[in-house]
Structure 1
Amino acid sequence: MGVQVKLLRLLTTVLALALVAFLISRVQLGEIGRAFKSLSLAATIIGFLVYLLFNMVKAIRFSLLLKGEISPTRLLPVMLLYSFWSNLLPMRAGDLSYLYMVKTGDGVKLTRGLSSLIIGSAVDASLNLVLLLALGLYFIGQLEGSLSLATLFIIPLGFILLLIGSLGLLWIKGAKLAMWFRDKGWLSRVVLDRVADLLEEIGRFRSREILLGIVPVSSLALGIRLILQCYLVDGMKFGFGWLKVIFALSFTGFFNLIPIQSVAGLGTVEAPWSWALVSLGEESGRAIASGFSLHGLIIGYSLICGGLGFTIRGLINRGGIRSG
């Protein structure tokens, strides 16, 4: 591992810990206890069932992204474990677990698995940006403090345009770029072959397939997740209103594209969440408390999903459950 990579990881860890320390110093701990007491057992169970539904839709989506190579039934435990690892470990642990499981368990090429993540992430980022901008326009008269128009619109839009431009360049000129890097001696033959395979896999996706298949299912998954989290926050009696919660969730989702995460995302989830709510006039202590409360409940759901994922995957591998 290079020195630069180690320094980057150290820097992101220090920043994440600083965020956690700052938020804990500002949080109203009594609000967290009150929130969990306010949430009924029935609401908690309903929330978990909706969380399972969310993972089922994700399994369908990734089956589409993998061109039907793996059935949704077989992908369900993979998605449950994806949720488990991504909510417990930092730095895209869920993505790595997904790549490992579909490669070792189902023989999917690494480049095909990676291309499914790239296309899926690009669709998710685009949907999230549209939602963020739409709600930002709706709340534009209420936004206060440091969440300015530039922060909310120009920076995210620039990031997405850069992402789309980079993907487009790779799609159209990727092979020539790879050859240029090889001629310069910056890419070995092995790396060049992997890059070529990845570009070929990305090129297999057609716009019709993405717009009529992947985008609708991704939108459904996003809708289920937003409804679930609004329902839980509402059940905890914070009284923010669903539109404010969705705005905070969208802003948090976009903010977390930045590779600065702590273990279980503690602090790095609550920081943008509370920033968005405070910018809409909510009190900071309650905003931070709501973030920790919701995040803690989702981590609890993901722990149960992890147990289910390990169990179901084991049964499928032993033939106890048909996966066709």
Structure 2
Amino acid sequence: MLAVLAKWSDMSLDDMVRECKRLSPSAMAAAFGVHLAIHAVRAQRFRALIPLAHRPGYLPTFAAASAQNLAAYVLPAKTGEVALIVYLKKLCGVPNKVGLSALVVSRLLDVSTLALAVGVASLYLALFEPDTAPRGILLLAVVCILGAAALTALAARGDLIVLAVTAVVRLFKLDRTRLGTKLCERTVGVGEALREAAGGALLAASLQSLAIWLGIFLFYAILAQSLGLPDTLGLAHIAIGSGFAVLSNLLPINSFAGFGTQEGGWVLGFGLLGVGRELALSTGLGVHVFQLASTVVLGLAGHLAMGLLAGSTPTAKR
């Protein structure tokens, strides 16, 4: 897909490599610092979504979350997401259903916060920059804000997902089979864990999600402007343009390390804002390469930390 995008934008591989080298050391240092802060808040959000009886310490959670983020980012079709459940179980003794619930609620909050950010940014452009805003921006704002509200409600009642699965199983009379019976039994425990994950912690986790996504957009802004994206594009434009790229990576259709799909979303998002295909692709690729390198560094550090922390007694900590 990356090759198709390159041909479409009349860019050669040498052009792409040359554009990636335009990143300044100061921009890379600032972006890495922001990326580290994002990981730190993300780990705390996982802790907030784990009930106190099973809540691990901060350092083990940070190590597990950093290692899991590497797996989720690199492996295709988002198969690496479930690594968090394995890491928390092995390192901290967190039950699988509790780890799964924290992961599901956090991902729902991620998508809802992303939708809210893109919706608010689109509304801002529609109201305050109507002459330069793309057509249909107001409709995009309404759809995103309504979607964010629906996803937040679902995060608050994640057990509804379990109820829906159980209803489908019973509708098709699969509960009479051995596999269906086992599935229904398992979903009961997961439903309870989802209620516990959201109960009392949703406000804190939502605020942490806002901080995470503000950091993500700042991360993209630092890198993209260093790579040549016009300074006239503010944070609202960055939120919309990069939002399409992030969405393409959140969906379970991405390839290895998201190459091709993330750039496609980036070109589409910034193309709507009037950025040319060549510039959009070159900045998108440069951002992606640095993001991958930063994720690898933090992920490997997480794996190393997990090795050093292995053997410590799992304890619940506030």
* Aligned-pair CA distance for 1:264: 0.8
Deviation digits for residues 149-202 of structure 1 (CA, Å, limit 9, x no counterpart)? 598357656765765676678646955973783485313222111111111111
Q: Distance in 2 between matches of 1:206 and 1:261?
A: 28
Q: 2:51 aligns with which of 61, 67, 81?
A: 67
Q: Distance in 2 between matches of 1:199 and 1:168?
A: 12
- Residue 152 (1) aligns with residue 140 (2): yes
Aligned residue identity for 2:27: A
Q: Does the CA-based 8 Å contact 2:158-2:194 persist in structure 1? A: no
* Aligned-pair CA distance for 1:123: 1.4
Q: Distance in 2 between matches of 1:58 and 1:47?
A: 16
Say how many residue pairs are matched.
301
Structure 2 unmatched ranges of 5 or more: none
* Aligned-pair CA distance for 1:75: 1.0
Aligned residue identity for 1:76: F
Equivalent position of 1:291 in the other structure: 284
| Aligned-CA RMSD value | 3.1
Q: Distance in 1 between matches of 2:100 and 2:187?
A: 11
- Residue 209 (1) aligns with residue 201 (2): yes
Equivalent position of 1:197 in the other structure: 189
Secondary structure (helix, strand or coil) at the match of 1:295 reads: helix
Deviation digits for residues 25-59 of structure 1 (CA, Å, limit 9, x no counterpart)? 13434654444333222332332232222111111
* Aligned-pair CA distance for 1:268: 0.8
Aligned residue identity for 2:186: R
- Residue 44 (1) aligns with residue 28 (2): yes
Equivalent position of 1:122 in the other structure: 108
- Residue 80 (1) aligns with residue 62 (2): no
Q: 1:308 aligns with which of 285, 297, 301?
A: 301
Q: Does the CA-based 8 Å contact 1:182-1:189 persist in structure 2? A: no
Structure 1 unmatched ranges of 5 or more: 1-18
Deviation digits for residues 248-304 of structure 1 (CA, Å, limit 9, x no counterpart)? 122323344432211110111111111111111111111011111100111111121
Q: TM-score, normalised by structure 2?
A: 0.82
Q: Does the CA-based 8 Å contact 1:73-1:323 persist in structure 2? A: no
Q: Does the CA-based 8 Å contact 1:31-1:286 persist in structure 2? A: no
Q: TM-score, normalised by structure 1?
A: 0.81
Provide the identity percentage.
Answer: 20
Equivalent position of 1:239 in the other structure: 230
Q: 2:8 aligns with which of 26, 30, 51?
A: 26
Equivalent position of 1:5 in the other structure: none
Q: Does the CA-based 8 Å contact 2:123-2:141 persist in structure 1? A: no
Q: 1:63 to 1:40 in 2, by over 3 A?
A: same
Equivalent position of 2:78 in the other structure: 92
